[in-house]
């Protein structure tokens, strides 16, 4: 595969951009080699600067549920740009967007638009602190909630990929206010809560983790957290930046039947444009300025082009339940194909899978939390990643990421991924 243009671009990029990229995981450091620079994408395919075609499994880290450059979203954006790009003033589409989100996610009574998942989570904990009058938060080891200071403690995704789960630059004061517990460990949460009675404002988690690779909550874990939060007056925040509108119309919370106090949403609700949102109980959201005293603002929040893209996407998802049937089918077909291949090859790697999200971990032990995710053979993952890339499959370049399927993938595409997986495993293990 010729990737000369990408290599040249990366050379140049490193002169002007720290590490040559605008978000760390993109640099391929965890898997070695030089990143491919993307030129375009359509449907299930993504194309690099050298003209190589790949089947897409990143999908902008989640939002491209319908595949790339979907005609409906393209048209909505084209229509919107006729009327200028930003007003910094209220618009009709923001109201429609809020109404739609509230109708699709029953736990959300009021919602505020922001520009990224990071802003959504930062703002959600601020309002939780204002509402409760408490300072501390609990997060889970290996969960990633964007790059807000409070969350760069035992963080997942790029933060763990680059060995900086606790980032320099975060003050001791902020770090002291972030308590961490192992994922899927209710007892640990109980102990933290008991040791910090009346000091914990919020508990935030990914209801299904995407950022230590795909990790599922064990039976009763989410319900147990809900109970602790109810008993202790703690605001339960589900970070559905990856899972919202993907795992079902109402996100992971609908799938698991759990009602959070606040929900954070991201990239998906912009159909790929820079958008985030946080929302939940009116009683809490009414603390947000100008309804209440907790300040949070944004010139570009509710940006008209981003709202047009997001509305087109969410309306489509709302009106086409078959999207979710297809995402389940595609995920099940891929998972059963991977399992059959592993059986055939006598391998026992752990495949975590739910709906259209999955991660193949290079360990034979169950992966249920951060330490078990980190037990994976990262060198082997790097080899696997490159073997897949060479076969035209574009995956997240780290073991600590989930893959995301889109409805643009046909059964034939899924079968191609399954064959590439089998061939890649044979190749890297010399089977």
Residue 270 contacts ligand PMP per CB under 6 A: no
Of 297, 292, 302, whose CA–CA distance to 123 is shortest? 297
Of 402, 404, 398, 388, whose CA–CA distance to 162 is shortest? 398
Stretch that binds ligand PMP, among 47-55, 138-146, 170-178, 341-349 (CB under 6 A): 138-146
Residue 241 contacts ligand PMP per CB under 6 A: yes
Question: x/- contact string, 308-337, with ligand PMP (CB under 6 A)?
Answer: ------------------------------
Rounded Cα distance, 210 and 201, in Å: 24
Give DSSP secondary structure letters for 361-377. ESSSS---SHHHHHTS-
Residue 278 contacts ligand PMP per CB under 6 A: no
Question: Annotated catalytic, 194?
Answer: no
Stretch that binds ligand PMP, among 50-58, 68-76, 206-214, 219-227 (CB under 6 A): 206-214
Residue 116 contacts ligand PMP per CB under 6 A: yes
Stretch that binds ligand PMP, among 123-131, 184-192, 196-204, 238-246 (CB under 6 A): 238-246
Residue 156 contacts ligand PMP per CB under 6 A: no
| Helix or strand run (H / E) with residue 189 | helix 186-195
Tokens read off for 203: 């508990």
Q: Confirm if 65 and 249 have CB atoms less than 8 A apart.
A: no
Residue 56 contacts ligand PMP per CB under 6 A: no
Cβ neighbours for 241, distance < 8 A, ≥ 6 positions apart: 62, 117, 120, 121, 145, 146, 206, 264, 265, 266, 267, 268, 276
Question: Annotated catalytic, 144?
Answer: yes
Q: How far is the CB of 237 from ligand PMP (least distance, A)?
A: 11
Residue 242 contacts ligand PMP per CB under 6 A: yes
Q: How far is the CB of 50 from ligand PMP (least distance, A)?
A: 27
Q: Which residue, 35 or 270, has its beta carbon nearer to ligand PMP?
A: 270
When binding is defined by CB under 6 A, the residue of 3, 52, 132, 211 that contacts ligand PMP is: 211
Q: Confirm if 104 and 250 have CB atoms less than 8 A apart.
A: yes
Q: Confirm if 157 and 145 have CB atoms less than 8 A apart.
A: no
Residue 29 contacts ligand PMP per CB under 6 A: no
Stretch that binds ligand PMP, among 235-243, 283-291, 337-345, 420-428 (CB under 6 A): 235-243
Q: Confirm if 361 and 350 have CB atoms less than 8 A apart.
A: yes
Q: Which residue, 43 or 63, has its beta carbon nearer to ligand PMP?
A: 63
190 CB-side CA count, 13 A: 7
Task: Considering only residues 249 through 268, tell me which ones interact with ligand PMP, judged by CB under 6 A.
Answer: 266-267
Cβ neighbours for 412, distance < 8 A, ≥ 6 positions apart: none
Question: Annotated catalytic, 261?
Answer: no
Between the CA of residue 206 and those of 24, 378, 379, what are the distances in Å? 21, 23, 27
Of 48, 177, 239, 369, catalytic: 239
| Cβ-based burial of 370 (10 A; exposed 0-12, middle 13-18, buried ≥19) | buried
At residue 164, what are phi and psi to the nearest 5 degrees? -125, 55
Count of residues that interact with ligand PMP, criterion CB under 6 A: 17
At residue 157, what are phi and psi to the nearest 5 degrees? 55, -140
When binding is defined by CB under 6 A, the residue of 6, 52, 107, 118 that contacts ligand PMP is: 118
Of 144, 358, 384, 394, catalytic: 144
Residue with smallest beta-carbon separation from ligand PMP: 117
Residue 121 contacts ligand PMP per CB under 6 A: yes
Of 139, 249, 267, 391, catalytic: 267
Residue 295: how many other CB atoms lie within 10 Å: 12
Between the CA of residue 118 and those of 54, 155, 278, 388, 417, what are the distances in Å? 29, 13, 11, 30, 32
Cis ω before 290 (30° cut-off from 0): yes
Stretch that binds ligand PMP, among 46-54, 139-147, 318-326, 415-423 (CB under 6 A): 139-147
Residue 372 contacts ligand PMP per CB under 6 A: no
When binding is defined by CB under 6 A, the residue of 48, 177, 206, 369 that contacts ligand PMP is: 206
Q: Confirm if 386 and 33 have CB atoms less than 8 A apart.
A: yes
Residue 61 contacts ligand PMP per CB under 6 A: yes
When binding is defined by CB under 6 A, the residue of 20, 43, 207, 210 that contacts ligand PMP is: 210
Q: Which residue, 252 or 387, has its beta carbon nearer to ligand PMP?
A: 252
Residue 350 contacts ligand PMP per CB under 6 A: no
When binding is defined by CB under 6 A, the residue of 48, 141, 239, 369 that contacts ligand PMP is: 239
Catalytic residue positions, numbered: 144, 239, 267
Q: Which residues bind ligand PMP (CB under 6 A)?
A: 61, 116-118, 121, 144-146, 206, 210-211, 239, 241-242, 266-267, 276
């Amino acid at each position: 595969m010729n990737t000369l243009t990408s290599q040249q671009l990366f050379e140049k990029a490193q002169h002007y951009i720290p590490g040559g990229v605008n978000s760390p995981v993109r640099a391929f450091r965890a898997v070695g080699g030089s990143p491919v620079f993307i030129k375009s994408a359509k449907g299930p395919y993504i194309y690099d600067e050298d003209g190589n075609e790949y089947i897409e499994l990143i999908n902008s880290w989640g939002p491209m549920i319908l595949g790339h450059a979907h005609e409906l979203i393209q048209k909505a954006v084209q229509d919107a740009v006729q009327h200028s790009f930003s007003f910094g003033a209220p618009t009709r589409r923001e109201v429609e967007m809020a109404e739609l989100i509230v109708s699709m996610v029953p736990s959300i009574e009021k919602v505020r638009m922001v520009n990224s998942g990071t802003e959504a989570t930062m703002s959600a904990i601020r309002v939780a602190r204002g509402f409760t009058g408490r300072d501390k938060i609990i997060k889970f080891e290996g969960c990633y909630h964007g790059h807000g200071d409070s969350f760069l403690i035992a963080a997942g995704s790029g933060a763990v990929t680059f060995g900086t789960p606790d980032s320099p630059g975060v003050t001791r004061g902020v770090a002291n206010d972030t308590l961490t517990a192992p994922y899927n460990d209710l007892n640990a949460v109980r102990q933290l809560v008991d040791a910090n009675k009346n000091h914990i404002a919020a508990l935030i988690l990914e209801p299904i983790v995407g950022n230590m690779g795909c990790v599922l909550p064990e039976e009763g874990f989410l319900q147990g957290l809900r109970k602790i939060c109810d008993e202790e007056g703690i605001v339960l925040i589900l970070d559905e930046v990856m899972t919202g509108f993907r795992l079902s119309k109402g996100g992971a919370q609908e799938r698991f039947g759990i009602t959070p106090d606040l929900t954070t949403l991201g990239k998906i609700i912009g159909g790929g444009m820079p958008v985030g949102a946080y929302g939940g109980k009116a009683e809490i959201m009414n603390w947000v300025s100008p309804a209440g005293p907790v300040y949070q603002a944004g010139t570009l929040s509710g940006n008209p082009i981003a709202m047009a893209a997001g509305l087109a996407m969410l309306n489509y998802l709302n009106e086409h339940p078959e999207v979710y049937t297809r995402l389940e089918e595609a995920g099940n077909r891929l998972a059963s194909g991977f399992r059959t291949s592993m059986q055939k090859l006598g391998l026992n790697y752990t495949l975590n899978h739910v709906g259209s999200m999955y991660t193949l971990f290079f360990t034979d032990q169950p992966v249920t939390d951060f330490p078990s995710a980190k037990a994976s053979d990262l060198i082997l993952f790097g080899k696997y990643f490159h073997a897949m890339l060479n076969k035209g499959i574009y995956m997240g370049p780290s073991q600590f990421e989930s893959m995301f399927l889109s409805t643009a993938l046909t059964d034939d595409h899924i079968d191609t991924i399954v064959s590439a997986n089998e061939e890649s495993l044979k190749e890297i293990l010399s089977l």
